[in-house]
């Protein structure tokens, strides 16, 4: 009988931990730039990240027929911030270009400092870029 109680307790603990894991906020900040029109949209979907970083500047240019974007982020905290970021590229129809090659990269911003991340399209068809920044804890 005590063995059954032990198994039930383990199942209940596992279910509780699974439920708590599902509550982690994985949203972040995204910066979408249309390189044809010059429009930039900043979405801050994470209340935690909104209080830690801000988007200062978005610049874009072209190198050898490929679009390039530069996004400057600034820390609003006095401590070091550890995050992940990813820059994706989309064609004129809104389809992501080669999504399997773009993984999240580590980003460290010192307190009250700014950093510029740069992304280069891997195809001349890329006309829209999207930077996604997420909290390091949410990424795990």
Q: Hey, what domains does the chain have and what are their CATH numbers?
A: 26-139 (2.60.40.3230)
Place of tokens 């270009």: 97
Helix, strand, coil share of the chain (percent; to 5):
20, 45, 35
Phi, psi dihedrals of residue 131, rounded to the nearest 5°: -95, 130
pLDDT tens per residue, range 46-64: 888 889 999 999 999 999 9
pTM: 0.78
User: From CA 125, how far away is CA 65, in angstroms rounded?
Assistant: 10
What pLDDT score does 63 carry?
Answer: 96
What are the b/e assignments for 113-126, b being 16+ CB within 10 Å? eebebebebeeeeb
More confident residue, 5 or 85: 85
pLDDT over threshold 50, residue 22: no
Strands 81-90 and 128-135: antiparallel
* Contact residues for 82 (Cβ-Cβ < 8 A; gap 6+): 106, 107, 108, 136
Average pLDDT over residues 56-85: 96
For residue 1, what are its two tokens? Answer: 């009988």
């Amino acid at each position: 009988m005590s063995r059954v109680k032990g198994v039930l307790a383990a199942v209940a603990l596992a279910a509780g931990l699974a439920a708590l894991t599902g509550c982690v906020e994985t949203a972040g900040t995204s910066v979408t730039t249309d390189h044809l029109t010059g429009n930039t949209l900043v979405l801050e979907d994470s209340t935690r990240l909104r209080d830690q970083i801000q988007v200062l500047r978005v610049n874009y240019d072209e190198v050898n027929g490929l679009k390039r974007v530069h996004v400057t982020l600034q820390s609003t905290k006095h401590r070091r911030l550890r995050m992940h970021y990813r820059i994706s590229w989309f064609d004129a129809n809104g389809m992501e270009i080669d999504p399997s090659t773009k993984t999240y990269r580590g980003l460290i911003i010192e307190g009250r400092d700014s950093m510029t991340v740069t992304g280069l399209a891997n195809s001349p068809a890329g006309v829209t870029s999207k930077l996604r920044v997420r909290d390091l804890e949410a990424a795990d």
